[in-house]
Amino acid sequence: MHRAFLSSLFLSYGLLFLQNTLPVVSWSTFIVSHTAGQDDTPALTAAMANYSSNSTILFQKGITYNIFTPIKFPTLTNVEILIEGNLTYPTNITAIQGAYSGAWFDFTGGTNVTLQGSTDPNWGWIDGHGQAWWNINQQTNRPHGWAFSHITNGVIRDLKLWKPIGWNFATSGSNNVHIYNNIILAVSDNSSAFPFNTIAYTILLAFSAGGSNLLFENNHVENGDDCITVGSGAINITVKNSYCANGHGLSIGSLGEDGAVADVENVLFENIVMANCLYGARFKSWTGGNGVARNITWKNIAFYNVPFPIYVTQNYWDQEDGPKPNSTTLNNTHIEDFLFENFVGTVRDVPYVEGSCVTDPCWYAVTNATGKEVIILDLYPNTTSNILAKDIFAKTETGARVAAMCDPTTISNDVGFVCQDGPFIPTKAGL
């Protein structure tokens, strides 16, 4: 009995000793200051060295902050950035071009970093004033938006971007990041002014690293480029329960430019609405590329007025790089285990010119296509394995029969429909 009492006593004193000797982590809060008419970036930059760990950086509700020059965050550890006020870029285009440095909000690395906006409909907006750029088709020294780079264990949530100039979010080299409940509105007020390159989310190769273990969900995107693009180096990516309008699809690539070796694995797009987009599901690689994209699934996709609901090409080119390259090589980035499952919607088969078209024919024109194709597989022989389109339900706007484009010499399995340039006819594997 005495032994039990002594053991209990020693345990109590031991716990008390540990409580008194364990380090206490203090938490600091920095409220970003604002001066009317002045750039608020310098004061924030000067203070960040003291708030790079165990801190909250707060943009207060009720204030519109002037982010007139780029913000470059130091390496952060256990930091949350709360955007409860509004942020505004400069309205002067030349001022932005003069300060151009890549991303306007640049994260250089860190662990346990949260970037959080506001659920208040009137606050937490980041205004890029992109309309002025789109009106004059100004594409020189356009800043990217948010480079959330080399972050381990991160969160991007509740952000609201209004008329961003160009590319919005990049997660290059980041791991274990949750991106959710964000709104991106890159919609032009002028029908002749197109929001070029307003890619919503980019997961791409940055030097030798790509994004991994990323979850995107419950995001709302209206833009003029890819809703999301997954680039080389990306692995274990999930995109689900989201809405995309007016853009260029749920994209893998482009991959393999200038013979680059690509590596993309384990990507899932699921439960997504594609409205008035140019593409739905999209894969794009350059002729002459190397490497592989494997285990990619697009599932439960609703599409409305989409000219190319499912589009896979190994002949991609970028009109910004000049004329389409004349390559005779049959080498290409390989495709393995691609699944397109449960697509429902309407194919836009009426005449149209999409806003990014600056060439004749347009860069997205497909030779010999009828405009009624629900799926186009533009492939090279001996570069693909196990592609399947299953439960594809589509109709055209005009009521014409839905078609497909596919060369049977380029496939190695039953792809779920009769591989031909002609009517879309499901096979047993596609039902």
- For tokens 């009624």, the residue is 372
| Residue 334 falls in the annotated catalytic set | no
- For tokens 């997961």, the residue is 203
Q: Say which of 144, 150, 248, 334 is annotated catalytic.
A: 248
Per the CB < 8 A criterion, the answer to whether 388 and 340 are in contact is: yes
- The Cα 267–Cα 235 span in angstroms is 7
- Residue 419, classed as helix, strand or coil, is coil
Two tokens at 167? 């590319």
- Residue 74, classed as helix, strand or coil, is coil
| Distance from chain centroid for Cα 358 | 24
| CA dihedral of 164, 165, 168, 172, whole degrees rounded to 10 | -160
Two tokens at 191? 């029908």
CA angle 386, 345, 267 (to 5 degrees): 40
Beta bridge partners of 313: 284, 378
Positions marked active-site:
248
